[in-house]
Amino acid sequence: MTFSRCDLRALFFDVFGTLVDWRTGVAREAEAHLKPRGYALDWLVFADAWRTEYDPAMEEIRSGRMAFTKLDILHRRMLERILPRFGIADVTEDVLRSLNRAWHRLDGWPDVTSGLARLGRHFLLAPVSNGNISLLADLARRNNLRFDAILGAEIAGDYKPKPRVYLAATEALDLAPSQCMMVCAASHSRDLASAAALGLGTASVARPDEFGARTAVSVPETPVDIAADSLHDLADKLGA
């Protein structure tokens, strides 16, 4: 490991699952949009189904089979793919458009707002997420997260864990990879491993509830520089 805490200048954050609870948020939004239209579903199952389409959609871009397309548009395609499976057929364009923006209206885990405020006194902070800029700006506003810049997929024109996404973020801040640390939920091994392979520092945050109560690992399967329980624990371990 070439990472040294003394050189650390910037923290990069994965967002879905690491900073915000996408599962209960999407379920809540789906219920709010579809229940008034007479649908009764297990809304968490609906959220999981939507999210399950995520990686295949990313892979179309990462493989080069499809030109870069921002996540809002991919979310909409993913949504249209799952609707028939739930027997949802007669929803207006306005409702679909609003439902698709469920991903802009997610709540942070309880430690996130205060944890980022604390980390931000010592380091540059940026999301390095597959989310598009408007989505991340909306999540930041909603949860009072102060970032120095919004980096990630839309800046890089590709999706994590492709190396270009991490490197575009380091370059945007004029920093070497070793001056940056990627922070991800502990179960996001692929994201952490890709960042580590490029020379970024890595930190995991236990997010055991991302996929349902206590179902996700709290300790990563890939080596990391810091394994933390929360952003406050991360701040403690960084001496921040």
Contact residues toward a copy of itself (CB under 8 A) are 72, 124, 132-134, 136-137, 140-141, 146, 148-151, 154-155, 172-174
* Minimum distance of a copy of itself from residue 181's CB (angstroms): 17
Which of 44, 172 has the CB closer to a copy of itself?
172
Residue 140 to residues 36, 105, 107, 177, 205: CA-CA distances in angstroms?
Answer: 29, 10, 10, 24, 19
3-state secondary structure of 15: coil
* Minimum distance of a copy of itself from residue 142's CB (angstroms): 11
* Minimum distance of a copy of itself from residue 134's CB (angstroms): 4
Which of 168, 206 has the CB closer to a copy of itself?
168
Helix-helix angle 43-52:54-62, to 10 degrees:
10
| Tokens encoding 48 | 């999981």
* Minimum distance of a copy of itself from residue 133's CB (angstroms): 4
Helix-helix angle 189-197:163-172, to 10 degrees:
60
| Tokens encoding 232 | 């406050």
Which of 51, 104 has the CB closer to a copy of itself?
104
Instruction: List all residues 6 or more positions away from 91 whose beta carbon is below 8 Å from its beta carbon.
Output: 33, 34, 37, 83, 99
Which of 94, 174 has the CB closer to a copy of itself?
174
Which of 133, 228 has the CB closer to a copy of itself?
133
In DSSP terms, 10 is beta-bridged to 124, 180
* Minimum distance of a copy of itself from residue 147's CB (angstroms): 8
Contact by Cβ (8 Å): 21, 175: no
